[in-house]
Structure 1
């Protein structure tokens, strides 16, 4: 299958290498020409995973977005949520009917990108899909080298508008067999693990993150007290899902840490392999890092506003959002990706259901 991968994130490099290694025709785009030069010059990425290290050839690596996207059945865009609107505007002139844009994960980016596409003048009928997590636990180890520590074994995914789901899942399944079908894009947003795992870890590790040159929030930073907060936050997410009519499976984050019971998105021992790699021992600047700007300002702010809209009490989510806002000096309840910011707070349940099923009606 012809696949375009867009964006220079860890996930972008992993997706380009992994999908090309699987035999797909992969074209890879990154905006930053200087940083991308080693990949463009060699038209390849060095991939390190459980099978060892090897060089993976790409069909095309280019800073020409149109050339990368043209003719692709699937466009994989594993970039932070705060970059989705700009990417959608850049993509708009190049999109064609029938293409599927995959956001792993999305924070309701399916709606954001579809609206940005329309606002930019694109009339192409495109399905936007978002998953509950990135398909990989991954980090770049150099300008053209990426390590994949774990591949997702379950990828719960929702599509916006939902009426395009059959086509979208037929395409997605050819690239990612682990995809599991959800009802719509908001369903996908509400299984996103990032806004549940990362806000407690960065807020409650704020001191060590500021003090040490590097700190592993998934190793030393994941203590029983923090896990209890994470579990309480996740319970609020599940309560919001239930109030909105989304049934099980809810993919509870506690399964990520268990060695038995229901398998989570990264399968058995995903957390252990993440910690053992030491790839997440890193410097995190709370003011700018994506855990704050994506998982708090987009994902957690969305959850808090959805809880209020659905009439669900969410004191942990609300408190974490307030503390994170105070830490960076910005009120994310006002500036973040909320129902109010998306223009959806005034919708009733029926109108919301129509929007999720059919998309915005011109």
Structure 2
């Protein structure tokens, strides 16, 4: 039986871990990144090592900054870039895709699979019949020590995954389930992308601590950076997320309930819960406005939620306020650049039409 071939797109901590993990399991892997300096360093090292909660090491058959080379012969395309790069990756991949390939966004954030499918089918008229899927979170809890050496800070036992449409999820799990036992299939990409409240916890506290960032003052992000007042803002924004989800016919947990379940906590107020969460202690703050807590979570978290909310008649004043604040301080138009309902193929669609689209 032919062994599956993988293309791993993105050579950050997650992508390098993925490449080492799969290579050690004996799968042919080609690792791609658009950064030639990083690629040159990894080509010199050859072997990538993961240490920490678990260890592995592997030597990809190719490490390249050429996307066509990485995709050549690949059965599975694992996209492990930041989520704001998904649109670029989709456009660049379109000419090289072939029937039967699986594209897995790891993770998809809010609407990742929708954005990729819309670009491939509507913008690029890609005729290849591929499976497009996304996870709700990065499969590995990891950080880079240095190029080629990744520290694993935790083992994720349950990572939600769904294909678009959901009817493709059984085939996805048939292929990838035995390789990644942490993958847990859910009903649709609404559950992988819209259920998480991470986008609430990142841009708002970061922007509310701009004075510290301007002065290059680091601080304990969750413990010192989120005061009772900032926590109330985050909670108010999370209420808007819940309202958008209800309009889509999706009942999801609040940010507080999600954190309670994840970390085994009992506090019912967000501020108190964060203060008692030992896992959040010592996590450092963003030091510049290009940090993913601001850029990625506005473009691919807050903007799509607010845009879909507007389509469905759900008011999102807190989200809208921070989109505007972020645009001013970062000098860019997040609303225009982000994942709007139009870019996701959801413009002028009813909740029933959206459900039909994803099923």
Q: TM-score range by the shorter chain?
A: 0.7 to 0.9
Q: Deviations over 1:16-54 (max 9, x none)?
A: 233334554432112222221122233221222224x66
Bigger mean CA deviation after superposition, 211-220 or 27-36: 211-220
Shift of 1:282: 5.8
Separation in structure 1 between the aligned mates of residue 32 and residue 166 of structure 2, nearest angstrom: 28
Separation in structure 2 between the aligned mates of residue 24 and residue 250 of structure 1, nearest angstrom: 39
Separation in structure 2 between the aligned mates of residue 329 and residue 33 of structure 1, nearest angstrom: 27
Q: Deviations over 1:99-118 (max 9, x none)?
A: 22111222312122223233
Shift of 1:123: 1.6
- CA change 1:99–1:202 in 2 (3 A) is same
Partner of 2:160: 156
Partner of 2:271: none
Shift of 1:341: 4.4
Shift of 1:223: 4.0
- CA change 1:272–1:312 in 2 (3 A) is same
- Helix, strand or coil: the match of 2:324? helix
- Helix, strand or coil: the match of 1:284? coil
Partner of 2:225: 221
- Helix, strand or coil: the match of 1:87? helix
Separation in structure 1 between the aligned mates of residue 28 and residue 254 of structure 2, nearest angstrom: 34
Separation in structure 2 between the aligned mates of residue 146 and residue 70 of structure 1, nearest angstrom: 27
Q: Is 1:188 aligned to residue 192 of structure 2?
A: yes
Q: Is 1:111 aligned to residue 114 of structure 2?
A: yes
Separation in structure 2 between the aligned mates of residue 220 and residue 133 of structure 1, nearest angstrom: 25
Partner of 2:135: 131
Of residues 244, 255, 259, the one that matches 1:254 is: 259
Of residues 201, 204, 227, the one that matches 1:197 is: 201
Cα root mean square deviation, aligned = 3.0
Separation in structure 1 between the aligned mates of residue 236 and residue 173 of structure 2, nearest angstrom: 32
- Helix, strand or coil: the match of 1:4? strand
- Helix, strand or coil: the match of 2:354? helix
Checking the alignment, whether the CA contact within 8 Å between 2:118 and 2:345 is kept in structure 1 is no
Separation in structure 1 between the aligned mates of residue 25 and residue 279 of structure 2, nearest angstrom: 22
- CA change 1:246–1:285 in 2 (3 A) is same
Shift of 1:232: 3.3
Q: Deviations over 1:94-152 (max 9, x none)?
A: 32222221112223121222232334353211122122221233222222222221232
Aligned ranges for residues 53-202 of structure 1 at < 5 Å?
55-106=57-108, 107-118=110-121, 119-202=123-206
Which TM-score applies when normalising by structure 1? 0.82
Separation in structure 2 between the aligned mates of residue 214 and residue 351 of structure 1, nearest angstrom: 46
- CA change 1:86–1:13 in 2 (3 A) is same
Shift of 1:8: 2.6
Partner of 2:274: none
Shift of 1:273: 4.4
Q: How many residues align?
A: 345
- Helix, strand or coil: the match of 2:145? strand
Shift of 1:202: 1.1
Partner of 1:243: 247
Partner of 1:267: none
- CA change 1:215–1:39 in 2 (3 A) is same
Partner of 1:293: 295
- CA change 1:333–1:355 in 2 (3 A) is same
- CA change 1:16–1:54 in 2 (3 A) is closer
Separation in structure 2 between the aligned mates of residue 48 and residue 115 of structure 1, nearest angstrom: 38
- CA change 1:41–1:132 in 2 (3 A) is same
- CA change 1:292–1:344 in 2 (3 A) is same
Gaps of 5+ in 2: 267-276
Separation in structure 1 between the aligned mates of residue 314 and residue 166 of structure 2, nearest angstrom: 25
Partner of 2:15: 12
Checking the alignment, whether the CA contact within 8 Å between 1:149 and 1:273 is kept in structure 2 is no
